[in-house]
């Protein structure tokens, strides 16, 4: 298990939000934490700790007046830790290489691929051709409906018609290097882990998967470690002391590194 840090950017600031409460209308979000520090500060901290594979996420759409400020923060972060962070948020074949040139190790994609409520395989192939499988992460974040986890898009506001299944992960993994998966219903709430989602990922486990959502204790981390056979990576936002939460970062890192 690895700890994958995060830098979430909304309205030009590093923030932690309640994931399911994000709205494009009026660029609103329910905030847990708003930082006075910029993206470079957090990226430098992760660099000095040797924490590679974290993600920078742009939470405003490209139509938002805040989007240029989001890009500025992202560029600061990627410049401070070149090759150490992934970037997601509005990635398409038209801008993917620009983000990689800024220093992102990978680009993270959801909405461009899961378009119109389905998997657009032609778009996925085009994206893979532009940036290569080895620099592409697919975000298959999901919400539960009718007993299944369905992939959600557009900053988690829209349900697709695509349930997350081992068969789907098999097909998608031919085009990407990793999966990022937020349990959106618990994201930012510090209310506990989506254990069903962790079990689904761990039962598959063919390429790296990073889980996020609801982690608020060291026991949550140990539970994911056990269920995932120490292979599922994690990210923590609002619950981390770095973002005003109760979990000490050094304890989190130690817990992730401790063998089963």
**Residue 202, pLDDT score:** 92
Tokens standing for residue 78: 């990627």
The string of pLDDT tens digits covering residues 23-48 is: 677 777 788 899 999 999 999 999 99
**Residue 200, pLDDT score:** 95
The string of pLDDT tens digits covering residues 121-137 is: 999 999 999 999 999 99
The pLDDT > 90 percentage for the chain reads: 84
pTM (2 d.p.): 0.94
Beta carbons of 113 and 138 less than 8 angstroms apart? yes
- E runs forming strands in the chain: 6-10, 13-17, 31-34, 54-58, 85-88, 106-109, 136-139, 142-145, 148-153, 158-163, 178-182, 209-212, 233-235
Q: Within 13 Å, how many C-alpha atoms sit on residue 184's CB side?
A: 22
Report which DSSP code applies to 234: E
DSSP string, 127-172: HHHHH-GGGEEEE--EEEETTEEEEEETTTTEEEEEE--HHHHHHH
**Residue 17, pLDDT score:** 80
Q: Measuring CA to CA, how many Å separate 220 from each of 19, 55, 86?
A: 19, 21, 25
Low-confidence ranges of the chain (pLDDT < 70): 19-23, 188-191
């Amino acid at each position: 298990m690895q700890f994958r840090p995060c830098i979430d950017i909304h309205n030009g600031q590093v923030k932690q939000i309640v994931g399911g409460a994000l709205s494009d209308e009026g660029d609103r979000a329910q905030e847990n934490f708003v930082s006075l520090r910029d993206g470079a500060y957090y990226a430098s901290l992760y660099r000095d700790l040797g924490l590679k594979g974290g993600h920078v996420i742009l939470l405003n759409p490209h139509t938002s007046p805040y989007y240029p400020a989001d890009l500025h923060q992202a560029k600061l972060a990627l410049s401070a830790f070149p090759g150490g962070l992934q970037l997601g948020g509005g990635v398409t074949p038209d801008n993917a290489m620009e983000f990689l040139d800024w220093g992102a190790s990978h680009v993270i994609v959801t909405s461009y691929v899961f378009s119109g409520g389905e998997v657009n395989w032609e778009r996925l192939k085009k994206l893979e051709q532009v940036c290569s499988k080895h620099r592409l992460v697919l975000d298959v974040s999901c919400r539960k409906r009718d007993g299944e986890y369905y992939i959600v898009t557009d900053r988690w506001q829209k349900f697709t018609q695509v349930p997350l299944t081992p068969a789907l992960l098999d097909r998608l993994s031919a085009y990407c290097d990793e999966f990022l998966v937020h349990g959106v219903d618990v994201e930012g709430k510090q209310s506990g882990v989506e254990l069903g989602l962790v079990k689904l990922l761990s039962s598959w486990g063919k390429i790296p998967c990073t889980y996020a959502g609801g982690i608020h204790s060291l026991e949550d981390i140990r539970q994911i470690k056990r269920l995932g056979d120490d292979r599922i990576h994690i990210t923590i936002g609002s619950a981390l002391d770095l973002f005003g939460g109760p979990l000490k970062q050094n304890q989190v890192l130690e817990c992730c590194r401790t063998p089963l």
